[in-house]
């Protein structure tokens, strides 16, 4: 084979250093999910194609152009999930979760869309996804927006770096009336619309509002507005969401959101690409230019009709998702790194001639004790490894490579003397202090976690 194997177009590896940033984002997302009373759950990475085709809309870009769909050996059409919402709705129905409403559900994992890859846009990416089922109130929308803003605030280490765009799509009756008005307005100009918009005029006219084509945009500027077609109920609902998010001094909710984002704007052309949305829809857009064209970091909305449409009983729902890779670009250097953790690295260095059985029994005893300690002190990361062979100089060089300001580094030296006395020499590489420690102490350390901290203090000064 002469050609080097490469990752598939639009996919990428998360090598260890990048993965550390990826995991840090997941950590923030999970912590906030917990704080806002969400339970984590997982659905399969693939579903029968119908789950997505029926829910997201046959004419949506995702369903019509972007799904990874294939036939199983049994002849069933399945699709790699292009999002979480439809799969969660399917699980809610098939798992009989109705009786547990209201539910707040968090999920994270890979999703797949056959899009044209570019910065911030991949064919396999990851989402963190939050759904709140069984609450129809405007407060639920406002609280979800609050959570989304809070997440973006946390991944940038408490900086305001986004604008929140808001719109309402009303209820089914509002949508129907608006759709008719929009088609009546656009139809006489059909010939001057872009090719994509001409197709959408028949199938999904609301999506024309999303068009980036300059001529389409000119027309859209004069098109009728959704707000004028809202039913009284839909209007009241959105007015309440607006009021909750307003910056009025008596409204602490609005103030809280405004403390987390740079700006809140209503955007009447925001329709979102998926058919299931009703009432409030929202997107958070990064304000810096670093993200290129893909600057929407998080998006979602209410989708009250979806579960019923998929065969369940009527269930109100609101949710959002953020792309983890996009959050990594967005957070850039602001992402809180591992500095909240204490780090200790312990390396066992058996000298030539020392039986490995002795070295490994010491390794296992120290590892067990370190693990007991870690369970009780989760903010303290501990690595225990053995470098059994090679020249001592080379091994010490490799160990010293890990020296940094916030890591305590220990070498556990196991020579002939130590073997004879059933002990080890502990060298604290940061301070160069050496001690001999007997095996019995190590065993005791397993039962008494405080002893671990005494023998391996997190002292980092060099
Ligand atoms: P979405 O707007 O299709 O919504 O995607 C949500 C987020 O996923 C985007 O804001 C972006 O951060 C990220 N994303 C989307 N496509 C890509 C891509 N090709 N590469 C990298 N990141 C991408 C949904 O998926 C809805 N299910 C959200 C939702 C949940 N609505 C209600 N509940």
User: Mean pLDDT by 10-residue block, N- to C-terminus, for the chain (462 residues)?
Assistant: 88 94 95 97 97 87 91 97 98 96 98 96 98 97 95 87 94 93 94 90 88 90 94 96 79 74 91 91 91 93 96 97 96 76 92 94 94 92 93 86 78 95 93 92 88 89 61
User: Is 299 near ligand 1, meaning CB less than 6 Å away?
Assistant: yes
User: Is 297 near ligand 1, meaning CB less than 6 Å away?
Assistant: yes
Q: Give the H or E element holding residue 306.
A: helix 306-309
Q: Which atom of ligand 1 is nearest to the CA of 127?
A: 8
Ligand 1, atom 11, lies closest to the CA of: 323
Closest to 94 (Cα-Cα) out of 39, 56, 129, 44: 44
Distance, CA 115 to ligand 1 centroid (Å)?
Answer: 12
The single residue listed with the structure tokens 């194609």 is 49
Cis preceding linkage at 102, omega within 30: yes
The single residue listed with the structure tokens 């369940």 is 312
Query: What gap in Å lies between CA 88 and CA 93, rounded to an integer?
Result: 9
Query: What gap in Å lies between CA 310 and CA 328, rounded to an integer?
Result: 34
The predicted structure's pLDDT at residue 339: 60
User: Is 132 near ligand 1, meaning CB less than 6 Å away?
Assistant: no
Count the alpha carbons within 13 Å of 79 in the hemisphere toward its beta carbon. Answer: 26
Distance, CA 348 to ligand 1 centroid (Å)?
Answer: 46
Query: What gap in Å lies between CA 445 and CA 43, rounded to an integer?
Result: 41
User: Is 52 near ligand 1, meaning CB less than 6 Å away?
Assistant: no
The single residue listed with the structure tokens 């060089």 is 397
Sign of CA dihedral 248, 249, 253, 258: positive
Distance, CA 302 to ligand 1 centroid (Å)?
Answer: 14
Distance, CA 281 to ligand 1 centroid (Å)?
Answer: 13
Query: What gap in Å lies between CA 167 and CA 35, rounded to an integer?
Result: 27
Q: Contacts for 213-219 with beta carbons within 8 Å, 24 or more apart?
A: 219/186, 219/189, 219/192, 219/193
User: Is 166 near ligand 1, meaning CB less than 6 Å away?
Assistant: no
Out of 83, 278, 294, mutate this one to test ligand 1's pocket (max ligand atoms within 8 Å of CB): namely: 83
User: Is 319 near ligand 1, meaning CB less than 6 Å away?
Assistant: yes
What's this model's pTM, rounded to 2 decimal places?
Answer: 0.91
The predicted structure's pLDDT at residue 405: 65
Please list, in sequence order, all residues whose beta carbon lies within 8 angstroms of the beta carbon of residue 284, skipping any fewer than 6 positions away.
148, 149, 152, 162, 163, 164, 165, 261, 296, 297, 298, 299
The single residue listed with the structure tokens 């329709």 is 271
User: Is 374 near ligand 1, meaning CB less than 6 Å away?
Assistant: no
**Residues, the chain, total?**
462
Phi, psi of 192, deg, nearest 5? -90, 0
Distance, CA 67 to ligand 1 centroid (Å)?
Answer: 14
Contact of 54 with 62, CB cutoff 8 Å: no
Q: Any idea what DSSP says for residue 172? A: H
Please list, in sequence order, all residues whose beta carbon lies within 8 angstroms of the beta carbon of residue 439, skipping any fewer than 6 positions away.
362, 365, 422, 423
- Residue 154 corresponds to which tokens in the numbers above? 């946390």
Distance, CA 28 to ligand 1 centroid (Å)?
Answer: 18
């Amino acid at each position: 084979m002469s050609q080097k194997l490469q990752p598939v177009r639009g996919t990428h590896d998360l090598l260890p250093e990048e993965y550390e940033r990826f995991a840090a984002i997941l950590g923030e997302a999970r912590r906030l999910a917990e704080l806002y009373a969400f339970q984590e759950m997982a659905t399969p990475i693939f579903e029968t194609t119908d789950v997505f085709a029926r829910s997201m809309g046959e004419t949506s870009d995702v369903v019509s152009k972007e799904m990874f769909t294939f036939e199983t050996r049994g002849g069933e059409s399945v699709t790699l999930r292009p999002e979480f919402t439809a799969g969660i709705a399917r699980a809610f129905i098939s798992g009989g979760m109705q009786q547990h409403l209201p539910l707040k559900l968090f999920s994270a994992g890979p999703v797949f869309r056959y899009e044209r890859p570019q910065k911030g846009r991949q064919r396999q990416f990851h989402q963190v996804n939050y759904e709140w089922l069984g609450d129809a109130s405007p407060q639920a929308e406002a609280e979800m927006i609050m959570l989304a803003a809070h997440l973006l605030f946390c991944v940038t280490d408490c900086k305001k770096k986004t604008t929140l765009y808001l719109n309402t799509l009303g209820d089914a009756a509002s949508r129907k009336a608006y759709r008719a008005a929009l088609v009546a307005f656009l139809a006489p100009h059909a010939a001057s619309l872009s090719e994509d918009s001409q197709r959408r005029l028949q199938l999904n006219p609301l999506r024309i509002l999303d068009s980036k084509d300059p001529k389409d945009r000119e027309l859209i500027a004069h098109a009728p507005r959704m707000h004028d077609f809202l039913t009284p109920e839909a209007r009241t609902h959105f007015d309440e969401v607006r009021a909750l998010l307003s910056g009025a001094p008596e409204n602490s909710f609005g103030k809280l959101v405004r403390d987390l984002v740079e700006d809140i704007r209503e955007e009447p052309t925001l329709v979102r690409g998926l058919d299931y949305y009703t009432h409030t829809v929202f997107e958070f857009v990064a304000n810096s230019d670093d993200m290129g064209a893909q600057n929407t970091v998080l998006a979602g909305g209410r989708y009250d009709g979806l579960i019923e449409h998929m065969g369940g009983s009527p269930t109100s729902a609101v949710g959002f998702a953020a792309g983890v890779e996009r959050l990594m670009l967005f957070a850039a250097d602001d992402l809180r790194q591992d500095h909240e953790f204490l780090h200790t690295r312990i390396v066992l260095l058996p000298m030539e001639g020392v039986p490995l059985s002795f070295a490994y029994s010491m390794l296992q005893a120290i590892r067990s004790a370190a693990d007991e300690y870690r369970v009780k002190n989760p903010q303290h990361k501990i690595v225990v490894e053995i470098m059994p062979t090679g020249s001592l100089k080379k091994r010490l060089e490799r160990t010293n490579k890990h020296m940094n300001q916030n890591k305590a580094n220990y070498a556990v030296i196991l020579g002939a003397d130590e073997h004879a006395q059933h002990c080890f020499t502990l060298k604290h590489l940061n301070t160069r202090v050496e001690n001999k420690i007997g095996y019995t102490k190590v065993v005791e350390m397993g039962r008494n976690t405080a002893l671990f901290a005494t023998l391996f203090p997190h002292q980092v000064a060099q």
